[in-house]
Each structure stands twice: as C-alpha cells, then as structure tokens.
Amino acid sequence: MYQLPGGSVPATSGPVPPSQASVRSPAGLFPRLVFFLRRHPILCLFLLTPGLVEYLSGSSSFVYLVFSPAWFFLALGINAAMYTSGALLIREALIRWKKGWPTVFALGGAYALMEEGIADQTIFNPHTSPIGAAGVYGHFAGVNWLFFPDIFVIHILMSLLIPILLLGYALPETRGKSLLTNQQIKLVVGIIAVDTAFLTVLVVGKTGYWYGFPLLGVSIVAIVALCLLGWWLPRDFLLRRRGPPASSRLAFFLVGCLAFPIMVVLATAGAARGLPPALVFMAIVGMTGAFFVWVLRRVGTEHHERHVVAFGAGLLVLGLILGVLFEFPWEFVLIADAAVVYFLYWLDQDLARRYAQVRSSVGIARSTPA
C-alpha cells in the first residue's frame, strides 16, 4: 500500500482493465457518459488536459471547429500529443515510483520547460504574443523571467496535477493503477518527443526566432535534473498538515480565483511603472510561495478531495473569463464552459455522497456489538 493524493490504494503495474463497473450501460445521457469514460480512462484524461488549459482559456479556439475543422483537429492532435502524453507519463511515474505531490511539481517543471521553453519558446522569445510587455521588460540572459513563474505554475497545476487528481476522484477505480504497459510508455515517450521537435521547427519557422543551442543545452540539462529530482523527492511535503482540511471549500475556491490574477497584475504593473524587474520577479515568486504554503498547511491529508475540486475550480475562473473574451463574438467556448462547470458540480456532489456512505458505514460498524 502507498499514499497517492486522495487516498491509500494498492499499486499495480499492469494497465487498468477496460471496465470495473457494471457491464450493462445505465440509463440517462450523463450516466452513460460516465460509464463510457470509466471504460476509457485515457480519454477522460484527454478531456481534462489539454481541455482545461488550452481550450477553456481560448489559447486554442473552438471557432476553428466550425470555420476550419481540418486545422482544429490538427491542433487538437498536436495538443494531445503534448499535454495528454505528459500527464500520462507523470501519472505513471507517480505510481511506479510510489510518489506524490512533490514529484508532480518537479516533473511538471520539466514538462513546462519542454513545452514553453524548447517547443513554444515563450520562456525565451521576448516578442512572443502571450507575454507582451513582460517579455522585453523582464528579459535577461535569454529568459523572460517575469513570465516563466506564471507559466510554470499554470502547467504544474492546471495541465498536470489537477487533471490527474480529478481523474482519480471521478474514476476512483483507476487510483494507483497504471493506464499504460511498458511498451505503451515507450510509445508515449516517442510521441511527446516527436511532437516537441515538430513544434520547435514550426515555431521557429513561423516566428523567425531561435534561442540558440546554448539555451537548448541548458534546458535539456534542467529537464533531466528535474526528472531526477522528482525520482528522489519524498512522497509528501513536510509542510503539509495532517488531518482534515483547516479551511472551507469556499476559501479554497477564492484562493484559487486570486492566484493567477495577482501574478498577472504584478508583472503588468511592474512593467507599467518601470520597477526593477528583479524586484517584481521576487514579488511574484514570494506571492506564489505564500499561496503554496497556505494550501499545503490547510488542505490536510484526509477527506480533502472536495477542497481540491474547489481550488481547481477557482484556478479555472481566470481562464474561463479570458476564453469568453478571446472567442468573442463566436462564443462556442461557452458550451465547453457549461460542461466543465457541471462536471465539477457533479464531482463535488458525488464525493459528498461517497463521504456520507463512508460515515454511515463507520457508524454502523461502531454501533454493532462485537
């Protein structure tokens, strides 16, 4: 037995069976969808990532699904080869190495550096569109220092940790169980490697910017170092308080709502006022650390799943707003927004029902005479 986020479960090295639920499909549209995803957990993870990060925020637009379907599905394949492959590999590392949240942070940092550094170049190119003034203003030694803390946190939390946790919460039969065989792991590694190389060539050809072999070499060394760190790190953070959560789900939701906007405001305000970039960078890192410590000290280790769902919902708020703004006037994204909001609501209620069943079972066991 070992501890994964969300519960103690037996580790297994083989892939999870196609279904551990009833063979007969239930009645109703949503129950049938849940039944289908239980039989195809990798598809469920695919909907969570790249779905939560790329498509709800408008970074990849649903508009192309209507006006250029071929481009939409090409981009979807590129995104899935990066995001879903990364989440699958990190999830496998957690299970096979018997690790927890600290390893997700280390491997998530490696993933962010691979995607946003090597492939998309947003960490290095000061003129790339997502950065704006924070690029030139905070650019030093070839790195956009005021951008990479934000993008690292986004990928670690929203591309990896939250989707992996939500998969385990929604499909509890997958907890602690591999979704990939050894041969499939090799295939996924090849897919993400080819996708990274393809995106690198594509972005260099489109932007005309190349960060150079020295930064490429440093990035590769840093990725390898972060992977080794993830293998070495303990199963849990020492700062994490034992027991149930110490704050309400509303508090976790509000903290999630504030995390990303404050980082953006600090970088934007620093550039607008001409403050020393090093000072702004330290403020962003300090603020991020404060949020991190608050969550670890209050999330607890028991019955915290609904609080994690609330925190994840809060983290999504800024992306939902940006997605509506970027997609205007073609608001196809609202359909996906509604689906995600309903999914999070359903998951919260389903977790509450499971907690009630556990408490009822415990109560019956205690009241039964020996």
- Which tops the pLDDT comparison, 27 or 117? 117
Question: Does residue 37 lie within any of the structural domains?
Answer: no
Same domain, 346 and 286: yes
Question: Does residue 305 lie within any of the structural domains?
Answer: yes
Instruction: Assign 11 a pLDDT band (cuts: 50, 70, 90).
Output: very low
Question: Does residue 137 lie within any of the structural domains?
Answer: yes
Instruction: Assign 23 a pLDDT band (cuts: 50, 70, 90).
Output: low
Same domain, 141 and 160: yes
Question: Does residue 121 lie within any of the structural domains?
Answer: yes
Q: What digits encode the pLDDT tens for the residues 310-356?
A: 999 999 999 999 999 988 888 999 999 999 999 999 999 999 999 99
Same domain, 112 and 212: yes
Same domain, 106 and 228: yes
Of 309, 308, 336, which is closest to residue 323 (Cα–Cα)?
A: 336
User: 326: domain range?
Assistant: 242-362
Q: What digits encode the pLDDT tens for the residues 122-140?
A: 999 988 756 555 567 888 8
pTM: 0.89
Question: Does residue 369 lie within any of the structural domains?
Answer: no
Q: Tell me, what's the pLDDT at 4?
A: 37
Q: Tell me, what's the pLDDT at 150?
A: 87
What average pLDDT does the segment 259-286 reach?
A: 90
Same domain, 221 and 317: no
Instruction: Judge whether residue 92 has pLDDT over 90.
Output: yes
Question: Does residue 329 lie within any of the structural domains?
Answer: yes
Same domain, 103 and 173: yes
What average pLDDT does the segment 148-171 reach?
A: 93
Question: Please, are residues 112 and 152 in contact by the beta-carbon 8 Å criterion?
Answer: yes
Question: Please, are residues 90 and 97 in contact by the beta-carbon 8 Å criterion?
Answer: no
- Look at residues 192, 220, 236 and tell me which one is the last residue of a structural domain: 236
- Look at residues 182, 202, 236 and tell me which one is the last residue of a structural domain: 236
